[in-house]
């Protein structure tokens, strides 16, 4: 059997045990922090869906709040966010950060016009600002939704989705996340949708990274891959190290 598929098969055999460990981790971390609950930014994608479902299993409906934060987002993501809320019985609130983005962009661009990437990162940071305002007011923690595949290559926004209080999916690759999603009853429309950070119209993760999640996960789980793909992955890992460590000081 292909080694990558074998690794996934092995994970499937212990997936219920792994889910239980993650649920226990969430419950313990929140209780030890003396927090009242958890807030999760819901993107309509699979990672935030799995994170929210795990938090619900750990804490119950009344202690988990999902926040959908569009900024001129593709309507399909809002449709999937609502489908998720219905499927897993999640309290979901919509906060449109588009007007805040419209207000701040001209002020920032007094210095220099922003490209699409920096505009997208600004949206991500406005979303995290909103989550922390809500969490602070309610005495909640902010749950991170980045998976291991994204974290390894730095595919997250510093000060945006790369910022939170704890992460219950940090050791799961994208393929493992999909497997967990099926176990947790996440809608198929979310599981099968091309991953996107919703930073600009038509943006997808794989297009931006320059390789597929299968390429990335195969390398992370087995060390295998085409030399040119491995070099791309390791290059992104090297230049994004600052996203995975606390800022240096002197």
Residue list, annotated binding site: 41-48, 125, 145, 150, 158, 165, 174, 196, 242-243
CB count within 10 Å of CB 176 equals 24
Cα distances from 54 to residues 20, 27, 93, 177, 228, in angstroms, run 9, 10, 18, 11, 36
Residue 245's alpha-carbon distances to 162, 242, 249, in angstroms, are 11, 6, 12
Question: Which CA distances in Å does 206 have to 66, 117, 130?
Answer: 26, 15, 27
Q: How far apart are CA 223 and CA 230, in angstroms?
A: 9
Q: What is the spatial distance between Cα 171 and Cα 3, in angstroms, rounded to a whole number?
A: 19
Whole-angstrom distance, CA of residue 136 vs CA of residue 71 = 22
Cα dihedral sign for 118, 229, 206, 56? negative
Catalytic residue among 80, 144, 150, 161: 150
* Options 47, 144, 205, 217, the catalytic residue: 47
Catalytic residue list contains 150: yes
Beta bridge partners of 65: 39, 91
Q: Any idea which residues carry the catalytic annotation?
A: 47, 150
């Amino acid at each position: 059997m292909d080694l990558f598929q074998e690794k996934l098969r092995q994970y499937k055999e212990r997936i219920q045990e792994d889910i239980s460990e993650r649920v226990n981790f969430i419950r313990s971390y929140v209780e030890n922090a003396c927090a009242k609950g958890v807030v999760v930014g819901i993107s309509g994608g699979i990672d935030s869906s799995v994170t929210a479902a795990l938090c619900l299993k750990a804490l119950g409906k009344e202690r988990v709040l999902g926040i959908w934060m569009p900024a001129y987002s593709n309507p399909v993501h809002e449709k999937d966010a609502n489908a998720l809320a219905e499927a897993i019985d999640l309290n979901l609130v919509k906060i449109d950060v588009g007007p805040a983005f419209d207000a701040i962009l001209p002020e920032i661009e007094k210095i220099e016009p922003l490209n699409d990437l920096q505009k997208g990162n600004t949206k991500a940071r406005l979303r995290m600002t909103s989550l922390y305002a809500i969490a602070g007011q309610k005495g909640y923690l902010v749950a991170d939704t980045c998976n291991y595949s994204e974290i390894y290559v730095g595919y997250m926004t510093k000060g945006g989705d790369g910022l939170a209080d704890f992460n219950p999916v940090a050791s799961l690759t994208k393929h493992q996340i999909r497997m967990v999603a099926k176990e947790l009853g996440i809608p198929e429309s979310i599981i099968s949708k091309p991953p996107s950070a919703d930073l600009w119209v038509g943006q997808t993760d794989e297009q931006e990274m320059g390789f597929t999640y299968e390429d990335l996960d195969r390398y992370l789980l087995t060390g295998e891959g085409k030399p040119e793909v491995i070099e791309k992955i390791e290059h992104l890992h090297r230049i994004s190290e600052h996203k995975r460590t606390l800022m240096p000081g002197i």
